[in-house]
Amino acid sequence: MLLLFGFGIYTLNIQPKENFSEMVILNSNGIIGNYPSHLVPGENALIYVLVQNHEGMPMLYQIKVILNNNNTNITLYTSYNIVNNNGEWKLPIAFAINSTGTFKLEVMLYYYNLTLQRFIYTNIFNQLVVSVS
């Protein structure tokens, strides 16, 4: 029995682990859900973007926050940070929208590729739909 248990532990520990990054949007209280979705023009709102690094090495990340509707596409934030392996980065995003309509707040995650010497889009994004009236 001990031999089987030892073999199971050995097998689990030698299996290659998949490396990944993740990103979530948190509300002003630092939890998932209850996001600002209805604002009046000029009202201040706050969210947090949480990035976690499970890539197996430190990563240089870039976060872009873009506000868009049918007529505009404005970059609100571009921020950079080095995140250690198994570390996290929590970035506050404060915003106000001065015109009425329905807007998307898009948050996109990039990482720096040393070989290509440029930021690469991770295909990880989140968005918040905000109605301003």
* pLDDT single digits (tens) 47-73: 999 999 999 999 999 999 999 998 889
| Structure confidence at residue 16 (pLDDT) | 61
| Structure confidence at residue 3 (pLDDT) | 47
| Structure confidence at residue 60 (pLDDT) | 98
Q: What is the pTM of this model?
A: 0.84
Q: Is the pLDDT of residue 106 over 50?
A: yes
Contact 119, 98 (CB under 8 A): no
Contact 126, 26 (CB under 8 A): no
| Structure confidence at residue 14 (pLDDT) | 59
CA of 16: how far to CAs of 12, 97, 122, in Å? 9, 46, 21
| Close Cβ partners of 116 (under 8 Å, ≥ 6 residues apart) | none
pLDDT (average), residues 10-29: 80
Q: CA–CA separation, 49 vs 32, rounded Å?
A: 10
Q: Which residue has the higher pLDDT, 98 or 11?
A: 98
| Structure confidence at residue 1 (pLDDT) | 52
Q: Is the pLDDT of residue 11 over 80?
A: no
pLDDT (average), residues 99-110: 96
Q: Which residue has the higher pLDDT, 8 or 4?
A: 8
| Structure confidence at residue 12 (pLDDT) | 52
- The secondary structure of residue 12, as a DSSP letter, is H
